[in-house]
Copies of this chain bind each other. A is one copy, B any other.
Amino acid sequence: MSTIRTTAESPAAHTAETPTQTAIAQSARELFLVNGYAATSIRDVAAAAKVDPALVMRHFHSKDELFVRVIGFDEHFAPQLDDPVETIGRRLADYLIAPKHAELRRTLTILVRATDHEAVRVDLEGTMRRLLVDKLKNRLTGPDAAVRAWLVSAQLLGLMQSWDMVGGDNASASERRRVAALYGAAIQSLITPVG
């Protein structure tokens, strides 16, 4: 957990405006990433940002909205999707599994876990479509391009879920390579099917 760092370029810094809003957004992102959605209260966020709990509501309207505004991830998938189609699967798996992308993994894991709340579910669906599915769809040839792109995003979300459950971040470099090779091939089978 302590390896998670909220960088200066995190989405929180982009969407907030006043210093107070920025402080709330950063505190919220840190607490959500470490403790998850349910275990983070608005009062916790307010205390960490040293503001009144009601002020958090004034600026972000609800816990759902605060979470969605602050837990976004941006443009992480774009570079891999510009690869030659034959290698996109492996590149996506490599990227998601790389030690340096622990914060992205954590973000996706926390996001999936919060989908019990409809607003989060809608946001995650939209973000995955915008950042991954729509772009990937345009690179695909052959039938069912849209369905195949969706199934790739399903694979990625499933990997994040299980990766965290089995403590994947403790895996050795060689284990990571094997997972990347295996899961990359499984993704690739949707990008360039043999049938």
Contact = CB atoms under 8 A, between A and B. Distances in A.
**Which of the four size classes fits the interface of chain A?**
35 or more
A137 interface: no
A165 interface: yes
A154 B163 contact: yes
How many copies the complex holds: the figure is 2
Interface string A157-170: 11101110110000
A181 B195 contact: yes
Main SS of the interface on chain A? helix
Contacts of A143: 178
Given A38-B116, A112-B161, A161-B161, A144 B185 contact: no
A175 to B, nearest CB: 7
A46 interface: no
Nearest to A109: B115
A159 B158 contact: yes
Interface of A: 36-39, 112-117, 121, 124-125, 143-144, 147-148, 150-151, 153-159, 161-163, 165-166, 175, 178-179, 181-183, 185-187, 189-190, 193-195
Given A155-B158, A161-B161, A182 B148 contact: yes
B161 A151 contact: no
A40 to B, nearest CB: 10
B116 A151 contact: no
